[in-house]
Amino acid sequence: MKTIGVLTSGGDAPGMNPAIRAVVRTASQQNCRVMGVVNGYDGIFDGNIEELGHRSLASIIDRGGTILQSSRCKRMYTPEGVDAARSRLTELGIHGLVVLGGDGSLTGARELARRGMPVVGIPASIDNDLYGTEMAIGVDTATNTIMQLVDRIRDTARSHRRCFLIEVMGRNSGYLALTTAISAGATVAVIPEFRYNMEKIVSMLNHRYQEARDNSIVMLAEGVCSASTFMERMQKAVPEGEFDQEIRITVLGHVQRGGIPTHFDRMLGARFGELAVMGLLQQETGCMTALAKGRATLIDLDQVIGKKKHPAPELIRLARNLKVEFGDAVEL
Ligand code: F6P
């Protein structure tokens, strides 16, 4: 294998750049060259590729986002599109491909591998919803960002004895809401994996306010519903139509996805980038780098794609023991 392609696809994640850097450095160490595919899978169709050398790597280790840019490529959703991408990769002289992204991006990677293109995926998505790996690139930075933002919001919550309803990302996953509820000391976590009980949440918030005259934080994963919808539902659940306490909404949005990658994400990017190249050179394909019991390893994409990642039971127990309210204790 002489030429390795690398692309980033789907939502960007802090740590993608350190991973790209590791791919290029490792490949160069193994006498291979790396072509960066610009703008995700779209770059394959458009022939938008550029050689990545040491100069392209200057000052990227501490940058969030992805220097290669990213897209959600519709053409990769059809078998004809994947066939075309497969042929195009050969035309572009790419012998093996590293794909960084989330579930959709790695589904595309598996399809390319099934058509004979050597591909290794790297999980990169702040949602941490990919089955088979304890962590994906970007999760640590995003959770640190959210935690720090919640800390700031709490200053106002304390000062005004308010309740804040904070909507965080996580299309199908409550990981961000759950773990930051623990680390930022929130009162309630509403996540798509568990059924919530609005009456219980409301009476808990009211009781807390009446008894302790305290502030409260509710962490809501966007995968459940929007904060405004949740607020409407909360209001409906209050018999008199009003809360004792003032409630404010904060939707954190895309500030969660940007920013300087943390040490953990840089290390994860470095470990995954290096392993992906070493895997390709050892004829591994159709697989993904994964963190399992703290070790970087390769796992077959067939064991990943289409599987639902549930929150780790010890995380749920931890949240419960620390009195983070879920509403009902029913896992969906
Ligand atoms: O998959 C990562 C993610 O940040 C989700 O949490 C979120 O729902 C989605 O991407 C937002 O995507 P976009 O930036 O395309 O609006």
The CA 26 to ligand 1 mean position distance, Å, reads 30
The pLDDT of residue 294 is: 95
Is a pLDDT exceeding 80 seen at residue 15? yes
Any idea which of 144-158, 182-196, 226-240 has the lowest mean pLDDT?
A: 226-240
The CA 190 to ligand 1 mean position distance, Å, reads 18
Q: Where are the alpha helices (DSSP H) in 238-295?
A: 263-281
Q: How far is CA 281 from CA 1, 24, 110, 300, in A?
A: 7, 13, 18, 16
DSSP state of 316: H
pLDDT digits over 80-123, tens only?
Answer: 999 999 999 999 999 999 999 999 999 999 999 999 999 999 99
Ligand 1 pocket residue status of 170, Cβ below 6 Å: yes
Share of the chain above pLDDT 90, in %: 87
Q: How far is CA 26 from CA 4, 35, 285, 286, in A?
A: 11, 13, 17, 20
Active site residues: 127
The pLDDT of residue 30 is: 97
The pLDDT of residue 244 is: 79
Count CB-CB contacts under 10 A for residue 227.
22
Mutate to test the pocket of ligand 1, among 126, 128, 175, 226 (most ligand atoms within 8 A of CB): 126
Is a pLDDT exceeding 70 seen at residue 329? no
The pLDDT of residue 209 is: 87
pLDDT digits over 227-282, tens only?
Answer: 999 999 998 888 776 777 899 999 999 999 999 999 999 999 999 999 999 999 99
Q: From the CA of 256, give the closest atom in ligand 1.
A: 4
| CB neighbour list of residue 323: distance below 8 Å, 6 or more residues apart | none
The pLDDT of residue 330 is: 61
